[in-house]
Structure 1
Amino acid sequence: MLPGFILMALIGAGIGWFTNRIAIRMLFRPQNPLRIPVIGLSIQGLIPRRRLEIAASIGEVVDRELVSIEEIVLGLAAEKNRGEIIETIKQRVEEIIKSRLPALVPGYIKDLIVDFVNDIVESQANDVINELAEKITQKAARELNLRRMIEDKINKFDLGKLEDIILSVADKELRHIEYLGAVIGFLIGLAQAFVVYFVL
């Protein structure tokens, strides 16, 4: 009787592990619809079959809940980035002035001009950056569709690569699901053995 109990429990564990493993793989495969002639049923992995809906949902959530074009532009023009923007402009101004002015112009004159222009840049930069950020935000809001961009990117992504990424990132969790299937199958096997030997 004991060997029978153990055998049925092990068979149940094997079935539980195998079915969970197959279920995980069937999230991605088959990538293209596979028709079973005898029963006339067509099967396809959940993610390939609902890829367009998934991409649209992700695009909508990112655009509505996580980040918008306006937030991206305003983030780039935030106070913490302004110093870097202003320094870049000042360096560029210095390069242009010193390279474009004739060699006859003394170096100290060039330095005075650079300092003068940089003072203007320093005093006006914040207003200019604010104005530019507002214009870019308005233009981006009119012409760029973040939701559509994300949706298109996901739809163009190779399903094989997506499968590899998800399986590698969630490998530990997916293995736990497989093992859980084995544990549940083992317990069901024990319950069946109990029914067979003591009830029937």
Structure 2
Amino acid sequence: MVDEITRATAIRYQPALWEILPESGRQLVIKRVQQQAPIVIRQIIEELKNNLDTMFDLKDMIMSHLHKDVRLLNRIFLDVGYAEFRFIRRSGLVFGFVIGCVQAITWALTHNPWIMPIFGGFTGWFTDWLALKMIFVPQQPQKYVGLFTWQGLFQQRKQEVTADYARLIANEIVKPNHLIDALLRGPMSPRLHQRISHIVQQTIDEQTGIARPAVVIALGSRQYQQLKQDVSQHVLSKMPATLQHMEPYIAQKLDVEQTLIKAMNGLNEQQFEQLIRPAFQQDEWILIAVGAVLGFMVGEMQVLIMLHLAVS
């Protein structure tokens, strides 16, 4: 890209001088600019890494990809919360058994046909609701009945959840090609363009050094400023194609997974819950409703079985 930009800029602003230079002289100019290119690239990447939150909307990028790929959303949902779903299954056995004992006693005393389905529906609803609550609440360890201490499962597993969540997001969503596209075309891309333009123009000023007054006189102040803007625009126009070759470098330098882990480890309990819970909260009512409906149906089947046995 440097070769093309240098030649185009020289022909536009100093066509006569560029024409009389032998090719070896032109190559020296181009090589001089090429030597500065890695420095500029490092500056851009460091600027991006240190100010990622002002140039890049991670939430917008993640949400847009999850909306497009529901299977990925399900995978994150299940992989990150595998221990919590296991707890919901197992806790249902315990809570269901306790409520079932009350149900059995009530049925034995009343033989009311509504007892079974009502208790079944309540059991299905309550056990799922309570298990979901216990996944997130309380945020800090608390002692109950003076016998046992409990903390929301996600808070207990914060380190493990953070690692799993960061790994999935980094490997499946915030990949270099997705990142580049979001950076260059996302809602906060104008800020990145502005910073790149500033770095490029600053580099031009630094390279002219003590000769800058002479350069400004030779070109004119307005032309000199226009030259810097033209080079910046040329760099920005070539960014999408050029950055494809930088994907491994970007992945290495930004180290998205470790950056996410570091950021998530810095969250307090409330912020951590606000990050994790929305993915579950959206469909919590479905889980609770299905539990209630299935509990009601099982209770109704119990009534039919009990009545059938009574008739027999």
Question: Same fold per TM (> 0.5)?
Answer: yes
2:156 to 37, 49, 63: 49
1:183 to 270, 279, 293: 293
Instruction: Tell me, yes or no, if the aligned pair for 1:28 and 1:163 is still in contact at 8 Å.
Output: yes
Cα distance per residue 1:174-193 (max 9 Å; x no partner): 11221111111111211222
Q: Measure how far apart 1:34 and its partner are.
A: 5.4
Across the aligned residues of Structure 1 and Structure 2, the Cα RMSD in angstroms comes to 4.8
1:158 to 258, 261, 268: 268
Cα distance per residue 1:45-69 (max 9 Å; x no partner): 3211222111111222222332246
2:257 to 131, 136, 147: 147
Tell me the amino acid that sits aligned with residue 18 of structure 1: F
Unaligned runs of 5+ residues in structure 2 are 1-106, 206-211
Cα separation, partners in 2 of 1:74 and 1:14, compared to 1, 3 Å: closer
Equivalenced residues, count:
181
Instruction: Tell me, yes or no, if the aligned pair for 2:134 and 2:152 is still in contact at 8 Å.
Output: yes
2:135 matched residue in structure 1: 27
1:110 matched residue in structure 2: 221
Larger relative CO (CA 8 A, sep 6+): 1 or 2?
1
2:123 to 12, 15, 33: 15
Unaligned runs of 5+ residues in structure 1 are none
Cα separation, partners in 2 of 1:129 and 1:177, compared to 1, 3 Å: closer
2:172 to 56, 59, 65: 65
Q: Measure how far apart 1:118 and its partner are.
A: 4.5
Cα separation, partners in 2 of 1:53 and 1:76, compared to 1, 3 Å: same
Q: TM-score, normalised by structure 1?
A: 0.61
2:302 to 175, 188, 192: 192
Instruction: Tell me, yes or no, if the aligned pair for 2:264 and 2:272 is still in contact at 8 Å.
Output: no
Q: Measure how far apart 1:28 and its partner are.
A: 1.0
Cα separation, partners in 2 of 1:75 and 1:163, compared to 1, 3 Å: closer
